[in-house]
Amino acid sequence: MMNWETGLKRGPFSDQQVKTLNELLPGMDSGQVQWLSGFLSGASLLSADQPLQVAQVSSPRLLSNDGNPVWILYGTHTGNSERLANVSAKRIEDLGIAAKISDMGSFKVKELRNIKRLLIIVSTHGIGEPPIQASELYEYLHSSKAPELKQLEYSVLALGDTAYTQFCQTGKDFDGVLAKLGAQRICERVDCDVDFEDDYTRWMEGNLAAIAPSFQSGNVPAAPIQPTIVGKANPIYNRKHPFGATVSKKINLNGRHSSKETIHLELDLSNSGLRYEPGDSLGVYASNSNRLIEPILNTLHFTGEEPVDTYKGKKTLLEALTTDYELTPLTSVSLNRYAELTGSTRLGKILNDNTAVVEYLYGRDVFDLIREVPFKMAPEVFISLLRKNSPRMYSIASSQNAVDDEVHILASVVRYEAYGRYKEGHCTSFLAGRIDEDDQLKVFVDANSRFKLPLDPDMPVIMVGAGTGVAPYRAFIQQRGIQEAPGKSWLFFGERNFTTDFYYQTEWLQYLKEGTLTRADVAFSRDQAKKVYVQHRMLEQGKELFKWLEEGAHFYVCGDAQKMAKDVDHALKEIIQTQGGMTWEKAEEYVKYLQVTDRYQADIY
C-alpha cells in the first residue's frame, strides 16, 4: 500500500495539514479516494488561492427563487466541460440558487421529468461524436423512448474546435433534440472554439440573467477557469497568458531513414509556478512560416507592412499573420465567411453539402482557398476570415516529480502533399523547423482529470499507445518509478519500424530491467509483410490481459482516435468476451463499467 504520510509530505502541506490528512485518508477505500480526487480537482478550480469552500458545492442552499435546483449536466472527454460545469455551479450558488451537477454518464434518465432548469455543457469528440460518457444520454434522447420535456427550460454550451469540420456537433444535437422534445431555451446555444473562456462567460451571464433577475452582468467576478495552481508571488500562466518556456533539449527520436519525424522536446518551466500531473497535456502556441505567408501576401498584393487592428491590438499585417492567426489547416468557419464575402457559387454549393465540406477542407489551407476563389479585399477583411492562432495540445511525457522544473513532450511532425503543394502542420513544422534549443516556446498546462494513474499504486496498469500515444506512459512510468509503486505495469507500443521508430526504447529497456515496467509488447507494422498493430498484440495476450483486468488493472489508450482507439476498444471487448466467456453485450457492459469507474481512460486525438 501507498505510504500516505511520506507522499503528503512531498506535497505543499504544512505539518499540521499532513497530520490531519493522514488521519483521514488511509482509512478510505479506493472508491472513496477516487471520488474525492475527482471532486477536489474540480473544486481546486475555484480556489486559486482562497481556502476551499467544500460545503458550498455539496449542499444546495435554500435560497433558490422557486425551490427547484438548477441542474448542470456535462459530457466531457478531456475535462474541459467538467471544469466549466463546476465553475457554473459555484456561480449559481453564489447567487443563492441551488445547483445540482452530474456527469452525463452517471445521470439517471428518469430524473429528466423532474428537472425544471437544465444547463448542458458538452464537447464533441471523434469525428463529430459525443464523448463516450455522454453517448448513452445522447442516444436515449434521440430514441423513441425519449419523453416529452415540456416542463424543461434549458441552455447548451457546446465545446469544440473549429479545426474539425463537425464543429460542436454534439452540442448542436443536444440543443436540437431538446427543442424537439418540447423544452424551451433559457438562452441561445453558444458554440465555443478551443479558446472557450470568453464565449463561456457570455453564455453563463446570459443564463444567470435569466435565472436570477437580480443578476447583473459583471457583479460577480468571473471565476478562474484554468485549473492552474500557482504560488502567490508568481504570475498566472494559462491558455490566455502562456509561459515562455526555454527549450533545453530538442531531439528527433526517429533513427535515420525513418519514414517519420518525431520531436522530443524538453522545456524549462523554472519560475513559472506551473504544475502538472502525468496524464495532463501541454498547450503550445506556434507561429506561421514565411513559406506560407509570402505566397499569400503576394497573391493578395499585400506588402505585409499594412497596419491592421487585431484582437491583440494594432500590428503590421505580417506580424499578425505570423503570430496571431492560423493559415493552416483551412477551417469550416473560414470557408463559411469567405463564401459569404465572395458570394462564390462554387463555395456556396460545397457549403450546402456536409460531405462536400469535409472533402473540400481536407488537405487545404488558406492559400488554396484564395487561389481557387480569387477575391480582392482589404488586409483587415482578410484577417477577419482567419481563425485565431490556437494552441496545439501535446500529452506530457514526463513526471514533474522526476524532472523537476522541466516538462517533456513528443510531437509527430505533420507533412504531406496536397493540391499540388507540399504542406506541413502549423505547430509541428514550427517545432521541427523554426524553433531550436535555447529558444522560447509559449506554453500552458492543460489538465486532464480523465487520464490519470490509479491513486492506489498497487493497482496494475495496462497502457496501450501507438506512435506519440506512448508519451503519457513515459510520464506514468517515471511517476510510478519515483513512487516505487508496487503495482504491475504493461506497455503495448506500436509504430512503423522497430529499428527507427521505437520511441524511448533505451528507457523502456532500463525500466524493464529494473522492474518498474513489468512487461512490454510491441507491434511494428511495416517490419513484415503482414501489418501488425497494437490490438493484434493485445489479442495474442488476451488471456493474460483479461487476468490483469480481473485483478483490477486500469486500462489506458492513447494516440490516434480515428482508427487505433477504435480497434483497441474492439480488441478489448473481444478479449473480455472470449476470456470471460460472455456475450458481446455483456462484454460491452463490462467495458462500460470499467469506464464509469475510471478504469478505462482514453487520451486520443
Partner 1 sequence: MMSNATGAEVSQEEHIKEDSNFLRGTIVAGLDNPLTGSLTADDAKMVKFHGSYQQHDRDLEKERKKQKLEPLYQFMLRVRAAGGITSPAQWLVLDELAEKYGNGTMKLTTRQSFQFHGIMKRNLKATIKAINETLMTTIATCGDVNRNVMCNPNPYESRVHGEVYAWAGKLSDYFQPKTRAYFEIWLDQEKVAGAADNEPLYHATYLPRKFKIAFAIPPHNDIDLFANDLGFIVIEEKGKLKGFNVCVGGGMGMTFGDEHTYPRLADVIGFIRPDEIVEVAETIIGIQRDYGNRLNRKNARLKYTIDVQGLPWFIAELAHRRNKPLLPALPYHFKTNGDQYGWLKGTNGKWFYTLFVEHGRVKDREGYTLKKAIRAIAALNRGDLRLTGNQNLIIGNISPEDKKDIEKILNDHGVLNNPQNTALRLNSMACVALNTCGLAFAESERYLPSLIDKLDVILRDNGLEKEAINIRMTGCPNGCARSSLGEIGFIGRAIGQYNLYLGASHNGDRLNTLYKEMLSEAEILQALEPILVSYAAEKLAGEHFGDYVHRKNIVQDKRKTGLKQLS
Residue among 24, 52, 54, 127 that touches ligand FMN (CB under 6 A): 127
Partner that binds at residue 507, options partner 1, ligand FMN, ligand FAD, none, CB closer than 5 to 8 Å by kind: partner 1
Question: Using the rule CB under 6 A, which residue among 76, 124, 328, 479 binds ligand FAD?
Answer: 328
Contact 453, 479 (CB under 8 A): yes
Taking CB under 6 A as the binding criterion, the range among 52-60, 213-221, 245-253, 393-401 that sits at the site for ligand FAD is 393-401
Cell 523547423, residue located: 433
**All three cell numbers of 318:** 505580417
Identify the CA nearest to 426 among candidates 418, 414, 443.
414
Helix and strand tally (H, E) in the chain?
24, 23
**β-strands 190-192, 153-159 pairing:** parallel
> Which residue, chain included where needed, has cell 466549466?
84
559, interface contact from ligand FMN, partner 1, ligand FAD, none, CB < 5-8 Å by kind? none
| Interaction of residue 287 with ligand FAD, rule CB under 6 A | no
Interaction with ligand FAD in 40-79: which residues (CB under 6 A)? 78
Residue 369 sits in the site that holds ligand FMN (CB under 6 A): no
CA 532 to chain centre: 28
CB-CB contact of 361 with 329 (8 Å): yes
The answer to whether the Cα torsion of 324, 328, 331, 335 is positive or negative is positive
User: CA-CA distance, 372 to 527, in Å (whole number)?
Assistant: 41
DSSP SS3 for 262: strand
Question: Would you count residue 80 as binding ligand FAD (CB under 6 A)?
Answer: no
Q: Residue from 41, 123, 288, 429 that binds ligand FMN (CB under 6 A)?
A: 123
Query: CA-CA distance, 396 to 505, in Å (whole number)?
Result: 17
Position of cell 453517448?
135
Nearer to ligand FMN, 194 or 297 (CB): 194
SS3 481: helix
Q: Which helix (H) or strand (E) holds 410?
A: strand 406-412
Minimum distance of ligand FMN from residue 130's CB (angstroms): 10
Least separation in angstroms between CB 475 and ligand FMN: 18
**C-alpha 379: how far from chain center:** 33
Look up residue 211 and give its three cell numbers. 435565472
Query: Binding residue for ligand FAD (CB under 6 A) from 105, 130, 227, 425?
Result: 425
> Which does residue 561 bind out of partner 1, ligand FAD, ligand FMN, none, counting CB within 5 to 8 angstroms by kind?
ligand FMN
How far, in Å, CA of 385 to CA of 366, rounded? 9
**Which of ligand FMN, partner 1, ligand FAD, none does 159 bind, CB closer than 5 to 8 A by kind?**
ligand FMN
Give the residue with the Cβ less far from ligand FAD, 77 or 599.
77
Q: Which is nearer to ligand FMN, 64 or 332 (CB)?
A: 332
Q: What part of residues 448-507 is at the interface with ligand FAD (CB under 6 A)?
A: 468, 471
Residue 79 near which of partner 1, ligand FMN, ligand FAD, none (CB within 5-8 Å, type-dependent): ligand FMN
Which part of the chain contacts ligand FMN (CB under 6 A), choosing from 163-171, 308-316, 425-433, 544-552?
A: 163-171
194 binds ligand FMN (CB under 6 A): yes
Give 251 or 356: the residue with its C-beta nearer to partner 1.
251
Select from 167, 200, 492, 556 the one that contacts ligand FMN (CB under 6 A).
167
Contact 70, 100 (CB under 8 A): yes
**How far, in Å, are 180, 331, 340 from residue 385 at the CA level?**
33, 10, 10
Hey, which residues between 103 and 132 contact ligand FAD (CB under 6 A)? none
Q: Which residues, listed in sequence order, are joined to residue 199 by a DSSP beta bridge?
A: none
- State which residue, 360 or 492, has the beta carbon closest to partner 1: 492
Q: What is residue 315's three-state secondary structure?
A: strand
In the complex, what is the shortest distance from the CB of residue 79 to ligand FAD, in angstroms, rounded to a whole number? 10
- Which of ligand FAD, ligand FMN, partner 1, none does residue 426 bind (CB under 5 to 8 Å by kind)? ligand FAD
Partner whose binding site includes residue 503, from partner 1, ligand FAD, ligand FMN, none (CB under 5 to 8 Å by kind): partner 1
Cβ within 8 Å of residue 154, ≥6 positions away:
117, 118, 119, 120, 178, 183, 184, 185, 186
Residue given cell 515496467 in the structure block: 517
Peptide bond into 329 cis (omega under 30): yes
* Nine cell digits for residue 584: 458481446
Among 123, 166, 310, 412, binds ligand FAD (CB under 6 A): 412
Which is closer to partner 1, CB of 254 or CB of 328?
254
Interaction of residue 394 with ligand FAD, rule CB under 6 A: yes
**φ, ψ at 356 (rounded to 5°):** -65, -35
Binding of residue 308 to ligand FAD (CB under 6 A): no
Q: How many CB atoms lie within 10 A of CB 505?
A: 16
Give the interface segment with ligand FAD, choosing from 85-93, 332-340, 343-351, 414-422 (CB under 6 A): 414-422
- Cα 107-112-115 angle, rounded to 5 deg: 110
CB-side neighbour CA atoms (13 Å) of 315? 16
Residues that bind partner 1 in the complex, under the rule CB under 8 A: 251-256, 264, 498-500, 502-509, 512, 520-522, 524, 527-528
| Distance in Å, CB of 440 to partner 1, minimum | 23
Pattern 532-571, ligand FMN, x by CB under 6 A: -----------------------------x----------
Between CA 383 and CA 309 the distance in angstroms is 9
DSSP state of 396: B
Q: Which does 582 bind (CB under 5 to 8 A by kind): partner 1, ligand FAD, ligand FMN, none?
A: none
Instruction: Examine residue 342 and tell whether it contacts ligand FAD (CB under 6 A).
Output: no
Q: Are strands 117-123 and 153-159 parallel, antiparallel or unpaired?
A: parallel
Task: Report the partner that residue 80 touches, choosing among ligand FMN, partner 1, ligand FAD, none (CB closer than 5 to 8 A by kind).
Answer: ligand FMN
Q: State in angstroms the smallest separation of the CB of 437 from ligand FMN.
A: 29
3-state helix, strand, coil in the chain (%, to 5): 40, 20, 40
Residues 487/454, Cβ–Cβ less than 8 Å:
yes
The gap from C-alpha 219 to its chain's centroid, in whole angstroms, comes to 31
CB of 126 to ligand FMN, least distance (A): 6
The Cα 181–Cα 120 span in angstroms is: 15
User: Least CB distance from residue 118 to partner 1, whole Å?
Assistant: 50
Q: Site residues (CB under 6 A) for ligand FMN?
A: 76-81, 123-128, 131, 159-161, 164, 166-169, 194, 561, 604-605
Q: Site residues (CB under 6 A) for ligand FAD?
A: 78, 281, 328-329, 362-363, 392-395, 410-412, 414, 416, 418, 425-428, 468, 471, 603, 605
